[in-house]
Amino acid sequence: MLGRHPESELIADLRGELPPPAHDRLARHLQGCARCRASAAAYARLLGELGRELERTPTPDWQIYRAQLMQRVARVAPLVPPRRWRPALAWSSLGAAALATAALLLTINLRPPAPPSMDQLTLQEAMADTDLDMLRAYPVLQHLDLIENYDVISRLDELSPAPTSANPNRS
């Protein structure tokens, strides 16, 4: 016996839709469960009655059916003409979207800058007393990449000023 009653599988088995392993498992369960055998018999009778009723039901005339359906729909909701595309409405919508975007960008750009953080203020105060003019005297600084030549920057005061060259091609 299965741990549960396979009610959902009974109709599929009666219609021949169960694969062989599931069909065999259901047949073993039906041998030991009177409740499921009674349900299977009731479902078989019900499927037989439905089949007989379908045979007696006349085939509908689809043209008449559509005409009646359209009459009922027309009574309930009158036919609304389809909306036409209106270029003026489309252009005004695009213009409104562009105006809103421009206003948003202006709002973002015209916002006052945030005050500098405390670290920046401390750095500015410390740099206020430094003489940065001496750095302009070193021609080496014109060709430095700060990350790659950090060791050169740290020893700038050890370097002697570069001699002026007579060669105009040399920088």
CA angle, 130 then 134 then 137, to 5° = 160
Q: Which two tokens stand for residue 137?
A: 């005297």
CA R_g for the chain: 45
Domains of the chain: 1-75 (1.10.10)
pLDDT of residue 123: 67
Q: What is the mean pLDDT of each run of 10 residues along the chain (171 residues)?
A: 72 88 90 90 89 83 88 75 72 88 84 67 68 58 54 67 60 49
pTM of the model: 0.35
Q: How many helices (H) and strands (E) does the chain have?
A: 7, 0
3-state secondary structure 132-154: HHHHHHCHHHHHCCCCCCHHHHH
pLDDT of residue 2: 46
pLDDT of residue 86: 73
Q: In Å, what is the CA distance from 49 to each residue of 35, 46, 58?
A: 21, 5, 16
Amino acid at 38: A
pLDDT of residue 1: 42
- pLDDT tens digits, one per residue of 51-72: 888 888 888 888 988 898 888 8
